[in-house]
Chain A
Amino acid sequence: MDTEFDILIIGSGAGGATVASALSPLCADGARIAVLEWGPHFKDEEFTGGELEMAQKLFFASGAITNRDQTLTVACARGYGGSTLAYTGTSIEVPQRSVDHWNVPGLTIADLVPRMRHYKAQNNVHELSDEDINENNQLFAAGCKALGYSVKKFPVNIRGCKGSGMCNMGCPNGAKQGTNRVQLPAAEAAGVQVITNCRVHRILPHEVEAEVAPSPYGHPSSWPAGRYRLHAKVIVVAAGTMHSSALMAHSRLPVSLPALGRYFTCHPALTLIAQHDHPFLNYYGFPKTYYCDDFEEQDDYILETCMYFPFTTAKSLAGFGAEHSALMADFRRLQMILVLVSDQAEEGNRITPDADGNPVLHYTLSERTLDALVDSQRIAAKIFFAGGAARVHAPAADRFLIDKADRDQVDRLIDRRHLKLGKISIASAHPMGGCRIGIDPKNSVTNDRGKVHGLDWLYVADGSLFPGSSGVNPYVTIMALADRVAEGIRDRWRAGELR
């Protein structure tokens, strides 16, 4: 095995694969570039759509890494393509107000927009035609319009979608244009090596300690099982927000980085569920078509359509017993809305490593976030009823189901005092921060090009770069930031600094 590289990239998700593809033309110029991916390269037939099976295969801790006080779960996938294997593919550009709020000199919306559009074009991002929109989505749009809320269509990155609705378990038809379908194959074709089943244990100056271990899934790794010490002129950490901070902190880097792991945000989310009197077409077709961001700027949340699977749905309901079973009895009558809160970047919300380098999340839901979670339930309940729902489940209501006869009472029935942390399922699929971009090493980890303060050989290129929450589904923004990182490395290569 060649253990000498010019550029080593740790992770193959939205960040790592973007860096790999953006730098891959350098291979023609003699650059040796490798991507080290912890998870396997799944075979197409391994995307079975089985809820528990795919959760176990794709996600760390089956999709439920918990924070220390166990009031929140975070989903992070691994495998060739990282979390792009398991996202829905909704492709929203970060809004100017978020970038302005980040307030990082050199990082502007004008710089990010062309990069985001480049990757959106590469990933075939477009809006669904009306005939492909199912009734779960249509009811949301109808409800929003009836109440005078604006509703927008998600641009999505699919090609040849067959409407399985299984996006979050890995598309069984290869339709979702994640990095496993677009950037990684292109990078490999240009000469980048991708080594799967390869976990990086530690980062040292110009060096990583890595281990290839067999996996029961996927194509065999191109490298034999064993421990390796790999050398590189430049190392790019793109292991995903949770793992990048943990890996770097575990590595005891030769600089002081007081902000490492800190300012973590994650868009805490609730899945809200309503029941209709009659079955409708809710889970055939693409699951996530519309969103409403009327409340993002003032109230810190957005509402999105979603359609999850039976276990995920059952656990999203606060309660149990006969009323829970009655709601679950006919899945075809369920309508779902996801609310995502833009949480504030706070120093105390942080990731630390355990003794093995795995992430430990210290995260407290702030009063502001909890208020937003309650208010968003009220708005979602009104949208459900305006769309024709017969009953609504809101975890912060004083009862398991609010009947449509009480629809005028939702502001009173849904109340903060009923929102008990630990009782309800608050989940996150958008971890961000921990290696935030900035100027001051006291409150940031990298410069505006993702280079770690004080180390000219170490970069970060994933969601951990976010100085604060993006306010929208983040993958397109991650790709744009990773593209900036790649640009900085490419400039140094061309200037001869890395040869």
Chain B
Amino acid sequence: MDARQRRPVLKAWQRRILVRLATCIVPETATASAQSLDAMVDAVDGQLQPRPRLQQIAFKLLLLGLGWMTLLPASWQASLLHLLEAFPIRLVRVGIWGLKTLIYLGYYGQESVQQRINYLPSKLEGNVLLHARRLPGRA
């Protein structure tokens, strides 16, 4: 059950494609630190590990299929992904949804990113802060 004890699902080249695709889905990742990108890909890998092998293969095939797209200019990549996201064939839409969801998981699941977007919950003092009408985060 401990993901750290398992072998990674994604190979180095697949991790690189994922990072490049992420810049199209979450543009901030283009300027994210190496540490944050590693955390993002590790989280994606952690989600894939307990999934059935067929699903893992399907995701790798998706990366392979979309890898060439990252050679295009950014605006073309976005247009193409928008097209695929609403593609007439459901299986294609599902694939793009899965890719997006995993990238969102890897990125927005990070505590440092959550803090940056002013998501700063309090385990013990939520009601205290509510009653004090104190807004979280930066002004």
Contacts and interface: CB of A to CB of B under 8 A. Distances in A.
A332 B50 CA distance: 34
Contact of B125 (A162, A279, A328, A425): A162
A283 B96 CA distance: 30
Interface residues of B, number: 53
A325 interface: yes
A50 B125 contact: no
A320 B126 contact: no
B121 A166 contact: yes
B130 A284 contact: yes
Given A173-B123, A328-B108, A423-B93, A285 B86 contact: no
A310 B109 contact: yes
Interface in A308-358: 309-311, 313-315, 318-322, 324-325, 328-332
A132 interface: yes
Contacts of B66: none
B135 A279 contact: yes
A421 interface: yes
A463 interface: no
A420 interface: yes
A50 B105 CA distance: 12
Given A281-B135, A311-B108, A322-B27, A163 B126 contact: yes
A96 interface: no
A328 B78 contact: no
B130 A422 contact: no
Contact of B127 (A69, A161, A422, A425): A161
Interface string A290-315: 00000000000000000001110111
Contact of B123 (A52, A162, A215, A321): A162
B113 interface: yes
A164 B2 contact: no
Contacts of B130: 132, 134, 163, 281, 284-285
A161 B128 CA distance: 11
Interface string B122-134: 1111111111010
B94 A162 contact: no
A49 B111 CA distance: 11
Contacts of A172: 123-124
Interface in B104-123: 104-105, 107-109, 111, 113-114, 117-119, 121-123
B109 A163 contact: no
Given A132-B130, A161-B127, A423-B85, A315 B104 contact: yes
Interface of A: 49-52, 56, 61-62, 69-71, 131-132, 134, 161-166, 172-173, 215-216, 279-281, 283-285, 309-311, 313-315, 318-322, 324-325, 328-332, 420-425
Interface of B: 1-3, 24-28, 43, 46-47, 50-51, 78, 81, 85-86, 90-94, 96-98, 100-101, 104-105, 107-109, 111, 113-114, 117-119, 121-131, 133, 135-137
* The 3 nearest A-B residue pairs measured at CB: A163-B126, A163-B127, A422-B93
9 contacts: A62-B47, A163-B122, A164-B126, A166-B121, A215-B1, A284-B121, A310-B119, A315-B101, A425-B97
